[in-house]
Structure 1
Amino acid sequence: MADAPEKLATPTDLASNATRSVADTLNQALADSYALYIKTKNFHWHVSGPHFRDYHLMLDDQATQILGTTDVIAERVRKTGNTTLRSIGDIARRQQIRDNDADFVSPTDMLSELRDDNLKLVEAFREVKEAAESAGDNATSGIVDEWTDQAEERAWFLFEASRAG
Protein backbone atom coordinates (compact mmCIF):
# COMPACT_ATOMS: atom_id res chain seq x y z
CA MET A 1 0.00 0.00 0.00
CA ALA A 2 1.39 3.41 -0.98
CA ASP A 3 2.00 6.04 1.64
CA ALA A 4 -0.69 8.70 1.95
CA PRO A 5 0.20 11.90 0.14
CA GLU A 6 1.64 14.62 2.29
CA LYS A 7 -0.46 17.67 3.00
CA LEU A 8 0.86 21.02 1.92
CA ALA A 9 2.69 22.54 4.84
CA THR A 10 3.74 25.97 3.67
CA PRO A 11 5.31 27.87 6.56
CA THR A 12 3.43 31.03 7.53
CA ASP A 13 2.82 32.93 10.73
CA LEU A 14 -0.67 33.95 9.62
CA ALA A 15 -3.71 32.24 11.14
CA SER A 16 -5.08 29.54 8.85
CA ASN A 17 -8.69 30.75 9.03
CA ALA A 18 -7.58 34.28 8.11
CA THR A 19 -5.42 33.07 5.22
CA ARG A 20 -8.27 30.94 3.93
CA SER A 21 -10.35 34.10 3.60
CA VAL A 22 -7.50 35.85 1.77
CA ALA A 23 -6.97 32.80 -0.46
CA ASP A 24 -10.67 32.70 -1.33
CA THR A 25 -10.61 36.32 -2.50
CA LEU A 26 -7.32 35.79 -4.34
CA ASN A 27 -8.70 32.71 -6.11
CA GLN A 28 -11.81 34.69 -7.07
CA ALA A 29 -9.62 37.45 -8.53
CA LEU A 30 -7.48 34.83 -10.25
CA ALA A 31 -10.53 33.21 -11.87
CA ASP A 32 -11.70 36.64 -13.03
CA SER A 33 -8.22 37.41 -14.34
CA TYR A 34 -8.25 34.27 -16.47
CA ALA A 35 -11.78 35.02 -17.71
CA LEU A 36 -10.74 38.57 -18.59
CA TYR A 37 -7.54 37.34 -20.27
CA ILE A 38 -9.48 34.94 -22.53
CA LYS A 39 -12.11 37.57 -23.35
CA THR A 40 -9.42 40.16 -24.13
CA LYS A 41 -7.64 37.70 -26.44
CA ASN A 42 -10.97 36.79 -28.05
CA PHE A 43 -11.65 40.44 -28.81
CA HIS A 44 -8.03 40.94 -29.93
CA TRP A 45 -8.47 38.12 -32.45
CA HIS A 46 -11.88 39.30 -33.66
CA VAL A 47 -11.71 43.10 -33.64
CA SER A 48 -12.35 44.75 -37.00
CA GLY A 49 -12.94 48.14 -38.52
CA PRO A 50 -11.07 51.37 -39.19
CA HIS A 51 -9.21 51.30 -35.84
CA PHE A 52 -8.26 47.64 -36.21
CA ARG A 53 -4.50 48.05 -35.78
CA ASP A 54 -4.74 50.31 -32.72
CA TYR A 55 -7.34 48.14 -30.98
CA HIS A 56 -5.64 44.90 -31.97
CA LEU A 57 -2.32 46.03 -30.48
CA MET A 58 -3.87 47.56 -27.36
CA LEU A 59 -5.87 44.42 -26.59
CA ASP A 60 -2.81 42.24 -27.09
CA ASP A 61 -0.81 44.42 -24.68
CA GLN A 62 -3.62 44.30 -22.14
CA ALA A 63 -3.99 40.52 -22.41
CA THR A 64 -0.26 40.10 -21.86
CA GLN A 65 -0.43 42.30 -18.76
CA ILE A 66 -3.40 40.39 -17.35
CA LEU A 67 -1.74 37.01 -17.94
CA GLY A 68 1.40 38.35 -16.28
CA THR A 69 -0.43 38.81 -12.97
CA THR A 70 -1.92 35.32 -12.83
CA ASP A 71 1.20 33.51 -11.68
CA VAL A 72 1.91 36.13 -9.02
CA ILE A 73 -1.66 35.87 -7.70
CA ALA A 74 -1.51 32.05 -7.59
CA GLU A 75 1.89 32.08 -5.89
CA ARG A 76 0.57 34.52 -3.29
CA VAL A 77 -2.19 32.00 -2.49
CA ARG A 78 0.44 29.29 -2.04
CA LYS A 79 2.65 31.52 0.13
CA THR A 80 -0.25 31.82 2.57
CA GLY A 81 -0.40 28.04 2.89
CA ASN A 82 -3.46 27.51 0.72
CA THR A 83 -4.23 25.92 -2.63
CA THR A 84 -5.21 27.64 -5.83
CA LEU A 85 -7.15 26.96 -9.00
CA ARG A 86 -6.79 23.55 -10.58
CA SER A 87 -8.73 23.56 -13.84
CA ILE A 88 -10.86 25.40 -16.39
CA GLY A 89 -13.89 24.06 -14.51
CA ASP A 90 -12.58 25.53 -11.26
CA ILE A 91 -12.19 28.89 -12.99
CA ALA A 92 -15.71 28.65 -14.45
CA ARG A 93 -17.21 27.93 -11.02
CA ARG A 94 -15.50 30.95 -9.45
CA GLN A 95 -15.46 33.61 -12.17
CA GLN A 96 -17.77 36.59 -11.90
CA ILE A 97 -16.70 38.14 -15.20
CA ARG A 98 -19.04 36.76 -17.83
CA ASP A 99 -17.83 35.10 -21.01
CA ASN A 100 -18.80 36.48 -24.41
CA ASP A 101 -19.36 33.76 -26.99
CA ALA A 102 -21.03 35.98 -29.60
CA ASP A 103 -19.99 35.44 -33.21
CA PHE A 104 -19.70 39.19 -33.73
CA VAL A 105 -19.20 42.04 -31.29
CA SER A 106 -18.74 45.59 -32.54
CA PRO A 107 -15.43 47.24 -31.64
CA THR A 108 -17.28 49.83 -29.54
CA ASP A 109 -19.08 47.10 -27.59
CA MET A 110 -15.82 45.19 -27.14
CA LEU A 111 -14.07 48.17 -25.59
CA SER A 112 -17.06 49.00 -23.39
CA GLU A 113 -17.42 45.43 -22.15
CA LEU A 114 -13.71 45.10 -21.40
CA ARG A 115 -13.74 48.47 -19.61
CA ASP A 116 -16.58 47.28 -17.37
CA ASP A 117 -14.89 43.92 -16.80
CA ASN A 118 -11.63 45.58 -15.77
CA LEU A 119 -13.60 47.67 -13.29
CA LYS A 120 -15.16 44.42 -11.94
CA LEU A 121 -11.64 43.11 -11.51
CA VAL A 122 -10.77 46.29 -9.58
CA GLU A 123 -13.68 45.47 -7.24
CA ALA A 124 -12.32 41.94 -6.79
CA PHE A 125 -8.87 43.34 -5.97
CA ARG A 126 -10.42 45.71 -3.41
CA GLU A 127 -12.01 42.66 -1.74
CA VAL A 128 -8.57 41.02 -1.67
CA LYS A 129 -7.15 44.16 -0.06
CA GLU A 130 -9.86 44.20 2.60
CA ALA A 131 -9.43 40.49 3.41
CA ALA A 132 -5.64 40.82 3.51
CA GLU A 133 -5.76 43.77 5.88
CA SER A 134 -8.23 41.96 8.14
CA ALA A 135 -5.88 38.96 8.22
CA GLY A 136 -2.78 41.05 8.91
CA ASP A 137 -1.36 39.88 5.59
CA ASN A 138 0.60 42.99 4.68
CA ALA A 139 2.42 41.31 1.78
CA THR A 140 -0.84 40.58 -0.06
CA SER A 141 -2.25 43.97 0.94
CA GLY A 142 0.78 45.69 -0.59
CA ILE A 143 1.05 43.73 -3.83
CA VAL A 144 -2.66 43.98 -4.71
CA ASP A 145 -2.29 47.75 -5.07
CA GLU A 146 -0.19 47.27 -8.23
CA TRP A 147 -2.77 44.89 -9.76
CA THR A 148 -5.53 47.39 -8.95
CA ASP A 149 -3.61 50.21 -10.61
CA GLN A 150 -3.00 48.11 -13.73
CA ALA A 151 -6.70 47.21 -14.05
CA GLU A 152 -7.71 50.85 -13.53
CA GLU A 153 -5.25 51.91 -16.23
CA ARG A 154 -6.63 49.32 -18.65
CA ALA A 155 -10.19 50.57 -17.97
CA TRP A 156 -9.04 54.15 -18.57
CA PHE A 157 -7.36 53.27 -21.88
CA LEU A 158 -10.45 51.36 -23.03
CA PHE A 159 -12.66 54.31 -22.07
CA GLU A 160 -10.49 56.83 -23.91
CA ALA A 161 -10.16 54.60 -26.99
CA SER A 162 -13.92 54.23 -27.22
CA ARG A 163 -14.79 57.94 -27.00
CA ALA A 164 -16.32 59.47 -30.09
CA GLY A 165 -13.85 61.79 -31.81
Structure 2
Amino acid sequence: MSKVRMLQPQKKAAALETPTDLKADAVAAISKALNTLVADTFALYLKTKNFHWHVSGPHFRDYHLLLDKQADQIFAMTDAMAERVRKIGGTTIRSIGQVSRLQRIDDNDADFVPPLEMLRELLEDNKTFAANMRAAHKICDDHEDVATASMIEVWIDETERRTWFLFEASRGADRTGH
Protein backbone atom coordinates (compact mmCIF):
# COMPACT_ATOMS: atom_id res chain seq x y z
CA MET A 1 0.00 0.00 0.00
CA SER A 2 1.53 3.30 -1.13
CA LYS A 3 1.57 6.29 1.21
CA VAL A 4 1.69 8.64 -1.75
CA ARG A 5 -1.66 9.90 -2.95
CA MET A 6 -2.55 11.80 -6.05
CA LEU A 7 -3.35 15.48 -5.75
CA GLN A 8 -6.95 16.27 -6.39
CA PRO A 9 -7.63 18.73 -9.18
CA GLN A 10 -8.48 22.16 -7.82
CA LYS A 11 -10.77 24.83 -9.14
CA LYS A 12 -8.78 27.24 -11.29
CA ALA A 13 -8.74 30.74 -9.77
CA ALA A 14 -9.73 33.77 -11.79
CA ALA A 15 -6.81 35.94 -12.91
CA LEU A 16 -7.17 38.52 -10.10
CA GLU A 17 -8.85 36.34 -7.49
CA THR A 18 -6.99 36.49 -4.18
CA PRO A 19 -7.82 33.91 -1.50
CA THR A 20 -9.40 35.36 1.64
CA ASP A 21 -11.60 34.20 4.46
CA LEU A 22 -13.74 37.34 4.13
CA LYS A 23 -17.15 36.82 2.58
CA ALA A 24 -17.81 38.20 -0.90
CA ASP A 25 -20.08 40.97 0.44
CA ALA A 26 -17.35 42.02 2.88
CA VAL A 27 -14.74 42.15 0.11
CA ALA A 28 -17.10 44.26 -2.02
CA ALA A 29 -17.98 46.70 0.79
CA ILE A 30 -14.44 47.10 2.10
CA SER A 31 -12.98 47.41 -1.41
CA LYS A 32 -15.51 50.11 -2.27
CA ALA A 33 -14.70 52.03 0.92
CA LEU A 34 -10.96 51.72 0.42
CA ASN A 35 -11.09 52.63 -3.26
CA THR A 36 -12.95 55.81 -2.38
CA LEU A 37 -10.25 56.52 0.20
CA VAL A 38 -7.58 55.88 -2.45
CA ALA A 39 -9.29 58.47 -4.66
CA ASP A 40 -9.50 60.92 -1.74
CA THR A 41 -5.83 60.28 -0.98
CA PHE A 42 -4.75 61.05 -4.55
CA ALA A 43 -6.91 64.20 -4.56
CA LEU A 44 -5.52 65.38 -1.22
CA TYR A 45 -1.97 64.57 -2.31
CA LEU A 46 -2.28 66.56 -5.54
CA LYS A 47 -3.95 69.51 -3.79
CA THR A 48 -1.22 69.53 -1.14
CA LYS A 49 1.48 69.45 -3.85
CA ASN A 50 -0.36 72.18 -5.78
CA PHE A 51 -0.26 74.43 -2.72
CA HIS A 52 3.36 73.41 -2.03
CA TRP A 53 4.32 74.47 -5.57
CA HIS A 54 2.37 77.73 -5.47
CA VAL A 55 2.79 79.01 -1.91
CA SER A 56 4.32 82.46 -1.60
CA GLY A 57 4.91 85.15 0.98
CA PRO A 58 6.94 85.79 4.11
CA HIS A 59 6.48 82.24 5.48
CA PHE A 60 7.30 80.61 2.14
CA ARG A 61 10.07 78.33 3.37
CA ASP A 62 8.16 77.04 6.40
CA TYR A 63 4.94 76.43 4.48
CA HIS A 64 6.76 75.00 1.46
CA LEU A 65 8.58 72.44 3.64
CA LEU A 66 5.48 71.64 5.71
CA LEU A 67 3.35 70.96 2.63
CA ASP A 68 6.09 68.91 0.97
CA LYS A 69 6.43 66.68 4.03
CA GLN A 70 2.65 66.31 4.30
CA ALA A 71 2.32 65.47 0.61
CA ASP A 72 4.95 62.74 0.94
CA GLN A 73 3.08 61.24 3.89
CA ILE A 74 -0.23 61.33 2.04
CA PHE A 75 1.24 59.76 -1.09
CA ALA A 76 2.76 56.95 0.99
CA MET A 77 -0.75 55.89 2.03
CA THR A 78 -1.93 55.25 -1.53
CA ASP A 79 0.06 52.10 -2.16
CA ALA A 80 -0.81 50.54 1.19
CA MET A 81 -4.51 51.26 0.66
CA ALA A 82 -4.59 49.90 -2.87
CA GLU A 83 -2.57 46.83 -1.96
CA ARG A 84 -4.92 46.14 0.95
CA VAL A 85 -7.81 46.03 -1.54
CA ARG A 86 -5.87 43.44 -3.54
CA LYS A 87 -4.93 41.43 -0.43
CA ILE A 88 -8.58 40.91 0.43
CA GLY A 89 -9.51 39.92 -3.11
CA GLY A 90 -10.81 43.19 -4.56
CA THR A 91 -9.60 45.32 -7.43
CA THR A 92 -8.56 48.92 -7.09
CA ILE A 93 -8.22 52.25 -8.88
CA ARG A 94 -7.14 52.04 -12.50
CA SER A 95 -7.17 55.64 -13.75
CA ILE A 96 -7.26 59.36 -13.01
CA GLY A 97 -10.81 59.31 -14.39
CA GLN A 98 -11.83 56.79 -11.75
CA VAL A 99 -10.15 58.92 -9.09
CA SER A 100 -12.14 61.98 -10.21
CA ARG A 101 -15.41 60.03 -10.13
CA LEU A 102 -14.79 58.73 -6.60
CA GLN A 103 -12.98 61.59 -4.83
CA ARG A 104 -14.73 63.56 -2.11
CA ILE A 105 -11.90 66.06 -1.63
CA ASP A 106 -12.55 69.09 -3.83
CA ASP A 107 -9.88 70.29 -6.25
CA ASN A 108 -8.64 73.87 -6.19
CA ASP A 109 -7.70 75.17 -9.64
CA ALA A 110 -7.50 78.85 -8.65
CA ASP A 111 -4.71 80.88 -10.19
CA PHE A 112 -3.77 82.25 -6.77
CA VAL A 113 -4.65 81.20 -3.23
CA PRO A 114 -3.29 83.22 -0.30
CA PRO A 115 -1.04 81.08 1.92
CA LEU A 116 -3.28 81.13 4.99
CA GLU A 117 -6.27 80.11 2.87
CA MET A 118 -4.20 77.21 1.53
CA LEU A 119 -3.47 76.01 5.05
CA ARG A 120 -7.04 76.42 6.20
CA GLU A 121 -8.43 74.65 3.14
CA LEU A 122 -6.05 71.73 3.64
CA LEU A 123 -6.95 71.68 7.34
CA GLU A 124 -10.63 71.23 6.44
CA ASP A 125 -9.78 68.64 3.78
CA ASN A 126 -7.76 66.62 6.29
CA LYS A 127 -10.63 66.79 8.80
CA THR A 128 -12.99 65.52 6.09
CA PHE A 129 -10.50 62.82 5.16
CA ALA A 130 -10.31 61.64 8.80
CA ALA A 131 -14.12 61.50 8.99
CA ASN A 132 -14.21 59.48 5.75
CA MET A 133 -11.63 57.08 7.17
CA ARG A 134 -13.72 56.65 10.33
CA ALA A 135 -16.69 55.67 8.15
CA ALA A 136 -14.50 53.13 6.30
CA HIS A 137 -13.27 51.84 9.66
CA LYS A 138 -16.87 51.13 10.68
CA ILE A 139 -17.39 49.11 7.50
CA CYS A 140 -14.28 47.09 8.36
CA ASP A 141 -15.54 46.57 11.92
CA ASP A 142 -18.95 45.45 10.62
CA HIS A 143 -17.20 42.77 8.53
CA GLU A 144 -14.61 41.86 11.20
CA ASP A 145 -11.68 42.97 9.03
CA VAL A 146 -9.32 43.87 11.85
CA ALA A 147 -6.26 44.19 9.61
CA THR A 148 -7.77 46.92 7.42
CA ALA A 149 -9.29 48.63 10.48
CA SER A 150 -5.86 48.66 12.12
CA MET A 151 -4.26 50.24 9.06
CA ILE A 152 -6.99 52.89 8.94
CA GLU A 153 -6.36 53.73 12.60
CA VAL A 154 -2.73 54.59 11.77
CA TRP A 155 -3.84 56.72 8.80
CA ILE A 156 -6.36 58.56 10.98
CA ASP A 157 -3.61 59.35 13.48
CA GLU A 158 -1.34 60.65 10.69
CA THR A 159 -4.20 62.73 9.31
CA GLU A 160 -4.98 64.20 12.73
CA ARG A 161 -1.31 65.17 13.07
CA ARG A 162 -1.41 66.94 9.70
CA THR A 163 -4.62 68.70 10.78
CA TRP A 164 -2.97 69.85 14.00
CA PHE A 165 0.10 71.20 12.20
CA LEU A 166 -2.06 73.03 9.65
CA PHE A 167 -4.20 74.47 12.44
CA GLU A 168 -1.22 75.75 14.39
CA ALA A 169 0.52 77.14 11.31
CA SER A 170 -2.63 78.90 10.09
CA ARG A 171 -3.54 80.48 13.40
CA GLY A 172 -0.02 81.62 14.21
CA ALA A 173 -0.37 84.46 11.72
CA ASP A 174 -3.65 85.52 13.34
CA ARG A 175 -2.02 85.81 16.77
CA THR A 176 0.96 87.81 15.57
CA GLY A 177 -1.00 90.06 13.25
CA HIS A 178 1.06 89.08 10.18
Calculate the TM-score normalised by the size of structure 1.
0.95
Structure 2 counterpart of 1:159, from 154, 162, 167: 167
The residue that corresponds to 1:63 in the other structure is: 71
Which structure: larger Rg?
Answer: 2
2:123 pairs with 102, 115, 119, which one?
Answer: 115
The SS at the match of 1:130 is helix
Residue 36 of structure 1 contacts residue 97 of structure 1 at CA under 8 Å; is this kept in 2? Answer: yes
Where does structure 2 lack aligned partners over 5 or more consecutive residues? 1-13
SS of 1:102's equivalent in the other structure is: coil
Partner Cα distance (2:67, 2:104) in 1 = 20
Shift of 1:124: 1.3
- 1:90-109 superposed matches below 5 A: 90-109=98-117
Q: Provide the rounded CA distance (Å) in 2 between the counterparts of 1:109 and 1:25.
A: 29
Which piece of structure 1 moves more, 124-133 or 51-60? 124-133
What letter matches 2:83 in structure 1? E
Report the Cα distance in structure 1 between the residues aligned to 2:158 and 2:29, rounded to whole angstroms.
Answer: 23
| Aligned residue number for residue 7 of structure 2 | none
Counterparts of 1:20 and 1:116 in 2: how far apart (Å)?
29
Match of 1:21 in 2: 29
Aligned match of 2:9: none
Matched, 1:51 2:26: no
How far is the alpha carbon of 1:149 from its aligned partner? 0.4
Counterparts of 1:157 and 1:13, CA distance in 2: 40
Contact persistence 1:28–1:124 (CA under 8 A): no
- The CA distance in 1 between the partners of 2:120 and 2:137, in whole Å, is 26
For residues 59-113 of structure 1, the C-alpha deviation after alignment (integer angstroms, 9 at most, x for no partner) is 0000000000100000011111000000000000000100000000000100000
Residue type at the aligned position of 1:79: K
Per the alignment, residue 3 of structure 1 pairs with none
TM-score by length of 2: 0.88
* Shift >6 Å, 4+ stretches: none
Distance 1:59 1:82 in 2: 32
Report the AA paired with residue 116 of structure 1.
E
Letter in structure 1 aligned against 2:111: D
Q: Is residue 75 of structure 1 aligned with residue 83 of structure 2?
A: yes
Q: Which has the higher contact order (CA 8 A, sep 6+)?
A: 1
- Tell me the percent identity: 54
> How many aligned residue pairs are there?
160
Unaligned ranges ≥5, structure 1 = 1-5
